Amino acid sequence: MKKKERYEHVINWFETNVPIAVTELRYDNHFHLLIAVILSAQCTDKRVNMITPPLFEAFPTPEVMAEVSVDEIYEYIKSVSYPNNKAKNLLGMAKKLISDFGGKVPDTMEELESIPGVGRKTANVMLSVAFDKPAMAVDTHVFRVSNRIGLTTNSKTPLETERELVKYIPSRLLSIAHHWLILHGRYVCTARSPKCDECGIRQWCQYYMKINGVKSIKKDTTADKD
C-alpha cells in the first residue's frame, strides 16, 4: 500500500468515526491554556487538570502571576513533573507576556517560541487549539502512533514527524488530526500492549500487518465492526 493511500484510509476512518476530537486539558482562556500546556510536558493531562483549578483561581491574569515569587507558584504545581523548572518558566512566561505582548498570548510560532517554557510542540498546540490555525504538535503519542501505523517513515525526531504529517494531511484537518493521533495513542495504540483488536484502523497499520505476518491487507468488511 502506498503511503498516500494509507493516509487517505486513516483520515477517512477518523473523520467518520471521530468527528469531534479536542484537547483533554481544561482551561478557560488562552493564558490558562498556555499554563496547562507548559505543565503537561512529560506529565499526564489528568494530573494537570487536578492541580489547575486552584492555580487558575490564584492567577487569573499574567499580571497577577508576574508579581509573585517562583516559590509561590511552585506550591501550586509541586505534584507535576519537574515542578522547579516549570515554576520558573511560568513566572518568566507571565513576565514575557506583559513586557512584549501586552499581556496577551501571541499567535505566531516565532513569538510563542520566544516565551520561557514554550518549545515547538507547545507553540503548535497553542496555534491549533487556541487560534484554530493549521499546526501539528508532535508529542510522544503522535510520534509513536505515526511511526507504528506507517504514516511516517523512520522519522527520528518530532520535527521530522511533524513535517511528514503536514505534507500528507490536508491543512484543514491538521488541528483535529493532532487530537486524533494523541487520543488514539492514549487509549488504543498504547506504548505497551497496543489494543489492536479494538483498533478501527488496524487494516491499514504496518505494525498490525507485521505482527500478523501479512504483507498487505485489503478491505476487510469485518474490521470496522468494533
Tell me if residue 121 is catalytic.
yes
CB 52 within 8 A of CB 137: no
Given a contact cutoff of 8 angstroms between Cβ atoms, the answer to whether 118 and 112 are in contact is yes
Task: Tell me how far apart the alpha carbons of residues 183 and 168 are, in angstroms, rounded to a whole number.
Answer: 20
**Is 189 annotated as belonging to a binding site?**
yes
| Given 3, 28, 96, 121, the catalytic residue | 121
196 marked as part of a ligand binding site: yes
Q: Distance between CA atoms of 28 and 47, rounded to whole angstroms?
A: 17
For residue 14, give the C-alpha cell: 477518523
Point out the catalytic residue in the list 86, 139, 215, 219: 139
> Is 156 marked active-site?
no
**Residue 205 annotated as binding site:** yes
- Residue 163 and residue 147 in contact, taking contact as beta carbons nearer than 8 Å: no
Ligand-binding site membership of 199 (annotated): yes
> Which residue bears the cell 504483507?
215
- Residues labelled catalytic: 121, 139
Q: Which residues are annotated as a binding site for [4Fe-4S] cluster?
A: 189, 196, 199, 205
Q: Which residues are annotated as a binding site?
A: 189, 196, 199, 205
